[in-house]
Structure 1
Amino acid sequence: MSRTLPFPRSRSRMVHAERSMELDPVRDHREVLLGVAAHDYPWDTVQALSFALFRTYAVPSIGGLLDRTGEFTGRVQKRYDDTGLLLEEIQRHGLESSRGRDAVRRINQMHAMHDISDADMRYVLATFVVVPKRWIDDHGFRPLTPHEVIASVHYYRELGRHMAIPDLPEDFAGFERLLDAYEQEHFAPDPGGRRVADATLDLMTTFPPHHLLPRRVVRRAAYALMDEPLLDAFGYPHPTRLERRLVRGGLRLRARVLALLPARTEPRWASDLGWFRSYPGGYAISALGTFRGPTGAPRPGCPVGRGAAPEGQQPAAS
């Protein structure tokens, strides 16, 4: 069980990296990851996890299912918000907390409505482990420390255990092999997966500061961050060499600027970025996501405003 420890007040840019090496990456895995996700890399963590989920749409059994539910095409903002808020509740409060357990229960209830293979579930979890490290390696102002990588593995293994996902890898190399092999075998064009990907990219163009640019420019920038197998699976055009250099060069410049700034002493969460817009009056965990209707078919969840949460649920500002 991880401990809740006070975050250091030092303004040194490397304070959270140094602190991670003083903690036990197994016992204190959540505390170690909070230094990454809520202090050094809040924006990057959101981007990386978004791209992690985006990759899963290129697997037809996943992208096709999401298309058939209509959630990621007809209500893409709400589905994006629900996913992000549930994951944040777990990370912010921990799996030992009532809010963390409620969030995992809600995720499991949604997954139980569909016939999802263990292999697909393992792959999705692997993207959460592997893609953020690769993103930070490429675009961050510092690499993850060895303890942060180990902590990520144990955090998601623990989440996977609560989701009853069997046969999870025991280390980062195992998750990386799983992800690469699964994508090589299963990435393929699929009309449903393409529709879900298109809807997600359209939503991305509405987030600040993207909304200030033409949609075509934002989409081309997104293509420049995708690898060729992912582009080919969706049937997207390959970016030019200049486009890749401009987009990745811009992210490298941002990393150099961040390296000069003092460390963040207060946590910043995904919900602080203003991209979750479905619940301006707050939400209850039990109302997030999708539910079965009277006929047994999935139906969307309903927002619960602040002060109207079910008994035992505390509304939280989004």
Structure 2
Amino acid sequence: MTAAMPGAHQAYARLVLETMPEESRVGLTLGFVRTFGIPEIARVLHGTGRMTDDPRGRAKATGVAMFALIGQGLDSTEGRRVVEGLRRIHDRPDITAELMAYVLACFTVCPLRFIDDHGHRAVTDEERDAAYAFHRGLSDALGLPDAPDGHQDLARVESWMRDYESRHFAPSEAGRALWEATSKGLLAARLPAPLAALAPAVAASLLDRPLRTALGVRRPPAPVRILVTRALRSRAGTARRQHS
């Protein structure tokens, strides 16, 4: 599947689609959830009704689009079709270029964060550079302007993303409603089976403090956090032995 990718993207495609696909899916889901902390984005998502009525279907559509772009390339027939669809869906006055840039940053940065934290190995420099090449290519394809600092590498993208969150994360009714729907359905389907029954508390354990504050989510009790940490470490250890 990765053979169709341009050279600059191949390492990223292999990581996401072949080496750690499950971790990538969880990370992409967490990136999607992260956008709920921005009230302007939360209002748009909540207003469509799809995220509260069918969170798994909405997130699946997003995942299918992103993985098609990663796997087949932005210049492929399918890639061009997906890009045009994304441009059409987001062509509305309440979705600014800055909001789009933030969403794209979440979709690129969060899967790599999750892999670094919970995968059987950390993301390599080659994979990180390839992820940035994909990120920059998709940003250009969507017609997004360069950020003020130029975003010369993925570290700069992540730095911009953190700064944006520090200025824009805030509680909202829409954000809380989206979290309620997502934590009980979508995230349960993304978690290892032993953790799925405790989905809302487990999912909350994967959120950092600023996002929990924006979504009005309490920090889970220590036993739940310990269970999640041990389960993820055990899974990573098993995968590490399989790949050694």
TM (normalized to structure 1)?
0.70
Computing the radius of gyration from Cα coordinates, the structure with the larger value is: 1
Counterpart of 1:202 in structure 2 is 184
Assess if the C-alpha contact under 8 Å between 1:188 and 1:233 holds in 2: yes
Paired with 1:209 and 1:47, the residues of 2 have a C-alpha distance of: 7
What displacement does 1:212 show? Answer: 7.5
Paired with 1:206 and 1:104, the residues of 2 have a C-alpha distance of: 29
In structure 2, the CA distance between the partners of 1:53 and 1:208, relative to structure 1 (3 Å rule), is closer
Counterpart of 1:234 in structure 2 is 215
In structure 2, the CA distance between the partners of 1:101 and 1:132, relative to structure 1 (3 Å rule), is same
In structure 2, the CA distance between the partners of 1:199 and 1:104, relative to structure 1 (3 Å rule), is same
What displacement does 1:152 show? Answer: 0.4
In structure 2, the CA distance between the partners of 1:5 and 1:123, relative to structure 1 (3 Å rule), is closer
Is structure 2 residue 154 aligned with structure 1 residue 172? Answer: yes
Paired with 2:14 and 2:141, the residues of 1 have a C-alpha distance of: 23
What displacement does 1:142 show? Answer: 0.8
Counterpart of 1:250 in structure 2 is 231
Paired with 2:22 and 2:88, the residues of 1 have a C-alpha distance of: 29
Counterpart of 2:101 in structure 1 is 122
Counterpart of 2:242 in structure 1 is 261
What displacement does 1:211 show? Answer: 7.3
Paired with 2:22 and 2:55, the residues of 1 have a C-alpha distance of: 20
Is structure 2 residue 219 aligned with structure 1 residue 220? Answer: no
Assess if the C-alpha contact under 8 Å between 1:204 and 1:210 holds in 2: no
What displacement does 1:252 show? Answer: 1.2
What displacement does 1:54 show? Answer: 0.5
Counterpart of 1:293 in structure 2 is none
Assess if the C-alpha contact under 8 Å between 1:225 and 1:248 holds in 2: no
Assess if the C-alpha contact under 8 Å between 1:57 and 1:63 holds in 2: yes
Identity %: 30
Is structure 2 residue 26 aligned with structure 1 residue 4? Answer: no
Counterpart of 1:81 in structure 2 is 60
In structure 2, the CA distance between the partners of 1:38 and 1:173, relative to structure 1 (3 Å rule), is same
Counterpart of 2:49 in structure 1 is 70
* AA aligned opposite 2:64: L
In structure 2, the CA distance between the partners of 1:214 and 1:159, relative to structure 1 (3 Å rule), is closer
What displacement does 1:30 show? Answer: 2.1
Residue from 182, 186, 196 that aligns with 2:168: 186
TM (normalized to structure 2)?
0.90
Higher helix proportion, which one? 2
1:243-271 deviation line (CA, Å, top 9, x unaligned): 222202211111111011148xxxxxxxx
Paired with 1:75 and 1:101, the residues of 2 have a C-alpha distance of: 27
Paired with 1:79 and 1:89, the residues of 2 have a C-alpha distance of: 16
In structure 2, the CA distance between the partners of 1:91 and 1:141, relative to structure 1 (3 Å rule), is same
Paired with 2:55 and 2:232, the residues of 1 have a C-alpha distance of: 26
What displacement does 1:208 show? Answer: 7.2
Assess if the C-alpha contact under 8 Å between 1:210 and 1:218 holds in 2: no
